[in-house]
Structure 1
């Protein structure tokens, strides 16, 4: 609740809940999960995610950036596929291993 310019948060049972609610109200962020195209891979797509939360207003632009890219197999889970996406201090990483096509 925003009262006279001051944010009042009620109903939380721990300090982390208060911090989360404050951040969600002021600047909502989300972990992004999607897929990315793979060249020469056993599968045509690989699941990926952001290694940190992305500001909600930058999610669509991040998805467009990922859609432009194509990575080469083999890929190991945790590999950084896009470093500092959109100039943010956030990387897009592989969520699974993917071997080359036989």
Structure 2
């Protein structure tokens, strides 16, 4: 098995994380909703994770993604329209919540 196939296998194996690792990821990302995590950027960052694994084969995918989430742009920015929609929703539902 050549080096690139071995690294590709490591990445695929790391992607199959258990629910325990999923909980770890959720805790490390400060309980962000999944809507704020860019799936496209997660997949794009796998290339860089693969390159990092060439230098340090002991790396784990989840911890590496958490450490480099800003550099890789994994968390979506909260846009003005999202803040406006949240405020409007709060204005509508606030009387029923109290």
Q: Compute the TM-score of the two structures, normalised by the length of structure 1.
A: 0.28
Which protein has the bigger helix share? 2
Which protein has the bigger strand share? 1
